[in-house]
Structure 1
């Protein structure tokens, strides 16, 4: 690659920001759900041993939205997948400080989402029933967004494979950027529902952003009663 090609890439990226900002802001709004849970957990002194995961969840959210704003959709989805994985890893490792030490010492690989969700189902009695209720009242298109996120990461999502031959060809058109907004919504709501399904508090102790979302989703029903909170 030449300097001129990189300069063309930078100019194209800069030119896309204005058009992509509305979509990026929608993604930022959707991410409020998952980041609200991260903030709640960061305030818990019992989880400080693995708060790196929560800080990473914040960082990858910033990364994902920023990449989308400049039209780099595929890298944005990869960052969103990291956000999803880190969020679920926290829910396991907050209860497993010894196993977390093994990860930080590079003796163990971090768990993938399937392992973490199995743990939550096995050890939080209310998890399955509550999650099933949440899925029945979901706004997201996909019950589980991880297949989409992983498809992009592993190249099995055929339409996401790049055929770029120059840096500026990595920048997607506005239609593709707008289409990615739904993926952000799916991921954030799914993360929120998993957190809520193993939540040990009551309705009053839930953050306002989560209560507002549930009230809208359940419409004429009472989410506190439906979810036994």
Structure 2
């Protein structure tokens, strides 16, 4: 394809992005920031209290993927936003595991081998972190998110193994999704935030006196009073 033939596609894409941003971009960006806010509180706490000197930049990676998702949603580019949402979960479990495994982290950086899957890491926490599984079960039983496993939903979109999630773009401008679907992506972001927060809280709940009030109050609002002692023990 020649440059002259391709230029109209690019022009229409830019026009579609511009129209989307002008009509809804700021509103969507603000809504996304509100959805991601609990994880930003977690990152601030963890960077202030729980760094080990190993793979600390993975926490910055969670924040960066939040910025990425926000920008993509503001532009109407939902497909790359979904990749960024799943990356938030991947960065979370990677940091939680590798922060205490400097030898494995150095090996991964040196060879590119040794990545841990989400299931593998959650199973590791369940075996070695006291009461992790019990806490996670309590939080999951009293979730507000629409899906129990947002990671699975995001993976379905990313791998495109169903006609329901395979993109059908016929031109570049079609990559810009309407406002309603952008709002659905923000709802998925909220689900991801709750899921990540449940992982962090299951790991750190024994340190509840040091946790930010915003994190504690949100968990207590979801979980019945009679289960608070089990959750925070």
Q: Does 1:10 align with 2:17?
A: no
The answer (yes or no) to whether the contact 1:32–1:209 under 8 Å persists in 2 is no
Q: Residue 142 and residue 14 in structure 1: after superposition, are their counterparts in 2 closer, same or farther (change >3 A)?
A: same
Structure-1-length-normalised TM-score: 0.91
- Corresponding residue to 2:41 among 33, 36, 45: 36
Q: Does 1:73 align with 2:78?
A: yes
The alpha-carbon deviation at position 20 of structure 1 amounts to 4.2
The answer (yes or no) to whether the contact 1:215–1:223 under 8 Å persists in 2 is no
The alpha-carbon deviation at position 21 of structure 1 amounts to 3.4
1:32-87: per-residue Cα shift (whole Å, max 9, x none)? Answer: 22232222222246422201211111111100111011111111001111111011
Q: Residue 107 and residue 49 in structure 1: after superposition, are their counterparts in 2 closer, same or farther (change >3 A)?
A: same
The Cα RMSD (Å) is: 2.0
Partner in structure 2 of residue 159 of structure 1: 164
Distance in 2 (alpha carbons) for counterparts of 1:151 and 1:224: 34
Partner in structure 1 of residue 214 of structure 2: 209
Unmatched segments (≥5 aa) in structure 1: none
TM alignment of 1:1-229, pairs within 5 A: 2-17=6-21, 18-44=23-49, 46-199=51-204, 201-218=206-223, 221=225, 224-229=228-233
Q: Which moved more, 1:110-119 or 1:199-208?
A: 199-208
- The structure that has the greater radius of gyration is 2
SS of the residue 1:225 aligns to: helix
Q: Residue 21 and residue 214 in structure 1: after superposition, are their counterparts in 2 closer, same or farther (change >3 A)?
A: same
Distance in 1 (alpha carbons) for counterparts of 2:51 and 2:187: 34
Distance in 2 (alpha carbons) for counterparts of 1:37 and 1:73: 25
Unmatched segments (≥5 aa) in structure 2: none
Structure-2-length-normalised TM-score: 0.89
The answer (yes or no) to whether the contact 2:205–2:232 under 8 Å persists in 1 is no
SS of the residue 1:198 aligns to: helix
Distance in 1 (alpha carbons) for counterparts of 2:212 and 2:163: 39
Q: Residue 113 and residue 125 in structure 1: after superposition, are their counterparts in 2 closer, same or farther (change >3 A)?
A: same
